[in-house]
Amino acid sequence: MARTLLIVDHVATRRTSLKLLLVQEQYQVLEAASCEAALALIERRRIDVVLTETELPSRSGLFLLKELKRKRPDIEVILLTHNASSYNLLQALRNGAHDFIVRPIDSGEFLFQALERAYRAIQLRQEERQLVIELEVRNRQMSSTLNRMSELQHALERLAMLEDPGELLQGLLDAAVGLVHAERGLLALIGRDGDLAVKLSRGLDQEFCRACAEKIPDGLLSAIFDHGRPILIAGKLPPKLEQKTAAEERQALFITPGVLAIPVRSGTRPIGLLVMAGHPRQLPFNEADLQRLTQLAAHAALLLEKAGRIRQLNKQAQQRQYA
């Protein structure tokens, strides 16, 4: 901590004597000859400790103490006086003085001890404020985490109510966009011919979706699908990925920064790709978003497998009925 303090005394020789004593102990010392000059200096400079004489010409040191505490409650004030009456001492303490030192100041031992206590009090307040800030940040993070968990749980519950595979896929896309507040999203599925095609979308240009309804052109989406694992791109596409991006993809999907991509499965069988693009309010997608989408997709995979089995059982039952 930079130890800058202000000496307030109308007697120049006393200020000089005190300043020489403090400078030897590596204090940075400012001077003022009156209460008014001290208050003006406080407005311009960062000062943590004030050493003020109680008997000043126009306004007293006690008045200065009150004004300093009104304007800068965190400042520490040590009063210097020849008159150590109990009344003065009581008034000083009531108005927030850190300490009260009786002149003459010879070796400076009591003064240095008082200054050490003052700066230690300042340091403790700063540490306390920092702890409060850290606690508030952690509380906000915890609250955000709980909200995210609650949102995910509600999304999973809504998906669990769907039985038709088509409704499940639409529900998966809607839930994903809502969970990460993405500007755009798509769900691409593997067709019978093995090609990856856009089947569902949110916020995308419809011309792009129609062009990719049968097959997505070779580019970033196909590269991400071939990668086979979740992908997080928090900001703009890296140059190498930018080179792989087809013109149609760049215009329709990657205008705004941020990409999340999750493989979609039915059971353990890969069936497509879920892609979110454009993070909200310029807040980058993060690992928590990726984890929530991964959990959502994993849950959807189980539901799709279950829906497929139910459909197969119904089909078999119908076949036996008409056999």
What are the extents of the domains in the chain?
4-128, 162-322
Say whether 162-322 and 4-128 share the same fold. no
The pTM score is 0.60
pLDDT digits 0-9 by tens, 157-176: 888 888 888 899 999 999 99
Choice among 143-147, 177-181, 223-227 with the minimum mean pLDDT:
143-147
What was the pLDDT predicted at 78?
Answer: 93
Give domain 162-322's CATH number out of 3.30.450.40, 3.40.50.2000, 3.60.15.10, 1.10.3720.10: 3.30.450.40
| Residue 85: pLDDT over 70 | no
From the options 3.90.190.20, 1.10.3720.10, 1.10.1050.10, 3.40.50.2300, give the CATH code of 4-128.
Answer: 3.40.50.2300
Q: Mind spelling out the 3-state secondary structure of the chain? A: CCCEEEEECCCHHHHHHHHHHHHCCCCEEEEECCHHHHHHHHHHCCCCEEEEECCCCCCCHHHHHHHHHHHCCCCEEEEEECCCCHHHHHHHHHCCCCEEEECCCCCCHHHHHHHHHHHHHHHHHHHHHHHHHHHHHHHHHHHHHHHHHHHHHHHHHHHHCCCCHHHHHHHHHHHHHHHHCCCEEEEEEECCCCCEEEEEEECCCHHHHHHCCCCCCCCHHHHHHHHCCCEEECCCCCHHHHHHCCHHHHHHCCCCCCEEEEEEEECCEEEEEEEEECCHHHCCCCHHHHHHHHHHHHHHHHHHHHHHHHHHHHHHHHHHHHC
According to the model, what pLDDT value does residue 12 have?
94
Task: Kindly tell me if the per-residue pLDDT of 132 is higher than 80.
Answer: yes
- Is the pLDDT confidence value at 313 over 70? no
For all residues of the chain together, what is the average pLDDT? 86
Return the higher-pLDDT residue of 198 and 103: 198
